[in-house]
Amino acid sequence: MSVLISGVLMNPAGVPVSGAEVTFSALTNGPSVLNGFSASVMTDQDGNYAIPLEICEYAISIQSDGYNSVYGSVSINEKSTPATINELLKLAAMEQAVTPAIIVYFREIQTDVAAKLATMQTLNNSATTAMRDAITARNEAAQYAQSLSAAAAQAQQASASAAASSNASGNSANEAVIAKNAAEVAAGNAQAVLADTMKRSANGVDIADKSAFRANIGLSNAMLRGEFGWGGRAVDIPGGTDILSYFATPKPSGIYSATSGGFINGPVGPNGLDSGKYEWIQGLDGIYGTLRFTSYNIPYYSAETILDAGIWRGWVTSWDGKDGVGKFLDARDGKISGNPESLFGRGFATGLVNSASLSLPGVHTALTINAQWQDASGIEALNRTAITGGRMFYQQAISAGDWSWPWTELASTNTTQDITELKTFHKDNSAFNIKAATLGNASYIFAQDADLSNSWYIGRGSNNNKTVSFSNYVGNAGMHLSPDGSVRFDASNVTFAGGSLGFMRNAVAAAYSDGGQFAAALANEQAAGSCTIAGVWRAFLSVRHRGGEPGSDSTSWGWALVDNAMTQGNFNEFVLEKTVDGTFIPAVHLKHSGNTTIDANGFLKTASPVINIYADGSFTTTDEAAGVDVERLSEGVYKITGCQGMHPDAAWNGIDGGVSNPKCRNGLELTWNDFSVESDGSVIVRTYHRPHPDAISFARNEIEGYGNDDPIDVPRGLFIQVRVNMPSRDERQHAPATRAISHSNVYCNSVSPT
């Protein structure tokens, strides 16, 4: 059976309290509720709460705004009906006899009992003994709670009696006093029970017998002892014990103490075998394990060893309180210079070793490192490093009885060494650098043969000489790069692939005052490059007889290809110069696709400068005609500006020529043309219809609406060519020509093809 407790929680100002936690804690065992358990409900934003409660005695506490307050105890029984918290408290007689302080104490007791129950539940999972102790403590806590509940009930009854006596008109004053005294005695008894319980809940601080207290709350078995975990005090090792034999016999993993003296086979420290603590981790009984030692006395040190397949691998000092990790050993007794098997397990050690024991010169420091890897046979490998006289060597072993490789010297920066294997440098930019120790002194790479005879060298071969040489001692051939920029060859001849002689020089960009100086330079050397003649840049390629070899007749014969307009965006000034028996004959100009053109009828003509005009007034030009513009003025009338009249060329009909008409496939011209030159040099070109009435019908060029010599545009898809004069242009830096088709106004609603 449950009873619904619900209502609105308000503060004294009548404002609902939201977010408050209302807790009902069972004070006794009910039909379905156990003592010590509690239930809570949180008020909503309007202060509403609702919670069903089973039949039992409850203490009510409310936590709000960080404060927790206890308001008293109430009773839910078979006759209870739904009510609010305020109605329950009003009905409860506890408000008259049991003080709020007692209820607070009782709440703390309930919380403490719940915590102990949780602790004992955890300990119950560790061991059966802990579980029994927890049950005992739980029963005791329940007994305390029941005692307090009984005391509270007694106080309640006494209070009721006192109230009844006070209000009854038939009772005497003495009876009221007796009832009052009885209530006070009952309250005192409840306080005493509560105080005793609080002592037991104070974590044993004010408990005289703390062992009994720990037993009451189930802490007696919180730590396990023995071989399955740590706990208790260290196990004493009897004096005079052989440490290694002691732990070779199966022992539980744990901490052991050796203080009695007389021990043998322990780790030796700076002052001999010391007393200390041993940490033993047992592996397979009697076969594997790890033993660590830490000394008790100054100077402190620690060491460890391992039991490997029933064999102890030797103590390794891991720290001795000085020199950082490890210590510096006097290893002249062979501690780190013997066979690999004698060094097993020493880890990292540093020592002074006699040179004779390692077949190395001088007295040196040797480092022995147990690298802890295995080869195919299972032998653990060792490295050792030796330093002597500023030189460093290393050696490696992969077998127990012998070092597998001879000593290998590491590369150094200030000692003479023989390098017997390939060294490859992987680096961008400068990967190998040679620097003279003294300013201006020789600096070179020198090579010898196996018999120490000189082979070759490259570099600066002598002091205060800035010439860099590459010389072969066999045959005395060489090349010398002088600081003045010249190159000298020590060779009977210079050959190239195929056995030819000579080579092509990259000429210096010289400045010549006239063509005569330039011609002399061409004759004297086989070269390629550029120069200026009277300030105009030329590019040239000069090929000489016998490869231009000095002292021969190479200056008498040869030829040169010269670009007399190097900075212009065309190829129209290429000429061939030729020397015949010491004399330059007249140069010839090269004709090519850049300075010739094919007219509308397929004939090759000089193309400098030429304009192709289409029906709509659009046009294209050769490079030399760049800068002109064409405008269609009316049907068949085109104006060219930016030029200086017509070009007189016999190939273009001389002074009266310069215009080429388009033709049909039968070779008949399709237009008449005429032109006039304006005072500013611009040219007006006119085209007229040109029929051929005597031709076969399909070749007559008859167009409806056009008679002979009627003005007409250039036929669609064709063009007329006009050769004009262009004004001289100033010398300019080379820039690639990018001119495409241009056009002005378009009357024909058509643009020429690109």
More confident residue, 481 or 326: 481
Exposure string over 32-62, b if 16+ CB within 10 A, otherwise e: ebebbebeebebeeebebebebbbbbbbbbb
What is the arithmetic mean of pLDDT over 447-474?
Answer: 92
Sign of torsion over alpha carbons 662, 665, 670, 673 = positive
**pLDDT of 566:** 87
Q: What percent of the chain has pLDDT over 90?
A: 27
Question: Cα angle vertex 51, ends 46, 57, to 5°?
Answer: 130
How far apart CA 364 and CA 175 sit, in angstroms, is: 110
pLDDT tens sequence across 219-231 = 544 444 444 445 5
How far apart CA 471 and CA 476 sit, in angstroms, is: 7
pLDDT tens sequence across 381-426 = 677 788 877 788 888 876 767 777 788 888 888 888 888 888 898 9
Q: Where are the domains of the chain?
A: 2-92, 113-216, 223-326, 505-589, 596-723
Exposure string over 435-461, b if 16+ CB within 10 A, otherwise e: eeeeeeeeebeeeeeeeeeeebbbebb
Residue 31 buriedness (CB in 10 A; 0-12 / 13-18 / 19+)? exposed
**pLDDT of 128:** 47
Whether the bond into 609 is cis, omega within 30 of 0: yes
User: Could you tell me if 553 and 580 are in contact, meaning their C-beta atoms sit under 8 angstroms apart?
Assistant: no
How far apart CA 626 and CA 288 sit, in angstroms, is: 98
How far apart CA 368 and CA 357 sit, in angstroms, is: 14
The lowest-confidence range among 31-35, 79-83, 357-361, 736-740 is 736-740
Closest CA to 734 of 502, 610, 568, 503: 568
**pLDDT of 7:** 93
How far apart CA 194 and CA 101 sit, in angstroms, is: 11
Sequence-ordered list of residues with C-beta below 8 angstroms from that of 216, at least 6 positions apart, any chain: 133, 136, 137, 140, 200
What DSSP string describes 491-517? Answer: SS--B-TTS-B---EE----EESSHHH
Number of separate helices (H) and strands (E) present in the chain:
8, 43
How far apart CA 728 and CA 121 sit, in angstroms, is: 112
Assign 488 to helix, strand or coil. strand
Sign of torsion over alpha carbons 351, 354, 359, 365 = positive
The lowest-confidence range among 285-294, 362-371, 701-710 is 362-371
More confident residue, 523 or 209: 523
State the pLDDT confidence band at 733, using cuts at 50, 70 and 90. Answer: very low
List, in sequence order, every residue forming a beta bridge with 391; answer none if it has no partner: 388
Closest CA to 147 of 108, 197, 188: 197
List, in sequence order, every residue forming a beta bridge with 58; answer none if it has no partner: 26, 74
Residue 368 buriedness (CB in 10 A; 0-12 / 13-18 / 19+)? buried
Residue 63 has pLDDT above 70, yes or no: yes
Assign 321 to helix, strand or coil. coil
pLDDT tens sequence across 486-495 = 888 787 555 5
The three-state DSSP-derived secondary structure of 663-724 is ECCCCCECEEEEEEECCCCCEEEEEEECCCCCCCHHHCCCECCECCCCECCCCCCCCEEEEE
As a residue count, the chain comes to 754
**pLDDT of 723:** 87
What is the arithmetic mean of pLDDT over 647-671?
Answer: 78
Residue 179 has pLDDT above 70, yes or no: no
User: Could you tell me if 544 and 557 are in contact, meaning their C-beta atoms sit under 8 angstroms apart?
Assistant: yes
State the pLDDT confidence band at 367, using cuts at 50, 70 and 90. Answer: low
What DSSP string describes 234-250? Answer: PEEPPTT-BHHHHHHS-
- Number of Cβ atoms within 10 Å of the Cβ of 198: 16
**pLDDT of 685:** 95
Q: What percent of the chain has pLDDT over 70?
A: 64
Residue 161 has pLDDT above 70, yes or no: no
List, in sequence order, every residue forming a beta bridge with 327; answer none if it has no partner: none
Residue 700 has pLDDT above 90, yes or no: yes
Residue 19 has pLDDT above 60, yes or no: yes
Sequence-ordered list of residues with C-beta below 8 angstroms from that of 332, at least 6 positions apart, any chain: 352, 353, 354, 357
Q: pTM to 2 decimals?
A: 0.30
Which helix (DSSP H) or strand (DSSP E) does residue 105 occupy? helix 100-124
More confident residue, 147 or 95: 147
State the pLDDT confidence band at 735, using cuts at 50, 70 and 90. Answer: very low
What is the arithmetic mean of pLDDT over 629-656?
Answer: 83
Q: How far is CA 244 from CA 278, 293, 589, in A?
A: 11, 12, 107
E strands present in 27-91 = 38-42, 48-54, 56-64, 67-76
Closest CA to 109 of 33, 24, 201, 213: 201
How far apart CA 705 and CA 536 sit, in angstroms, is: 57
505-506 vs 527-533, strand pairing mode: parallel
**pLDDT of 191:** 56
More confident residue, 468 or 523: 468
pLDDT tens sequence across 240-258 = 999 999 998 888 888 999 9
Structure tokens of 686? 């006119």
How far apart CA 20 and CA 65 sit, in angstroms, is: 8
Closest CA to 545 of 515, 519, 524, 574: 524
**pLDDT of 718:** 93
Q: At the topology level of CATH, where does 2-92 sit?
A: Immunoglobulin-like (2.60.40)
State the pLDDT confidence band at 150, using cuts at 50, 70 and 90. Answer: low
* Own/partner long-range contacts of 557-564 (Cβ < 8 Å, ≥24 apart): 557/581, 558/522, 558/523, 558/526, 560/522, 562/538, 562/587, 563/538, 563/539, 564/536, 564/538
**pLDDT of 387:** 82
Instruction: Compute the mean pLDDT over every residue in the chain, rounded to the nearest whole number.
Output: 76
User: Could you tell me if 518 and 535 are in contact, meaning their C-beta atoms sit under 8 angstroms apart?
Assistant: no
How far apart CA 504 and CA 549 sit, in angstroms, is: 11
How far apart CA 440 and CA 444 sit, in angstroms, is: 12
Residue 746 has pLDDT above 50, yes or no: no
**pLDDT of 612:** 93
User: Could you tell me if 409 and 396 are in contact, meaning their C-beta atoms sit under 8 angstroms apart?
Assistant: no
Q: Residue with structure tokens 């060597």?
A: 393
What is the arithmetic mean of pLDDT over 536-563?
Answer: 84
**pLDDT of 408:** 84
pLDDT tens sequence across 550-574 = 667 888 999 999 998 888 877 778 9
State the pLDDT confidence band at 232, using cuts at 50, 70 and 90. Answer: low
pLDDT tens sequence across 256-307 = 999 888 889 988 876 777 789 999 998 876 789 999 999 888 777 888 999 9
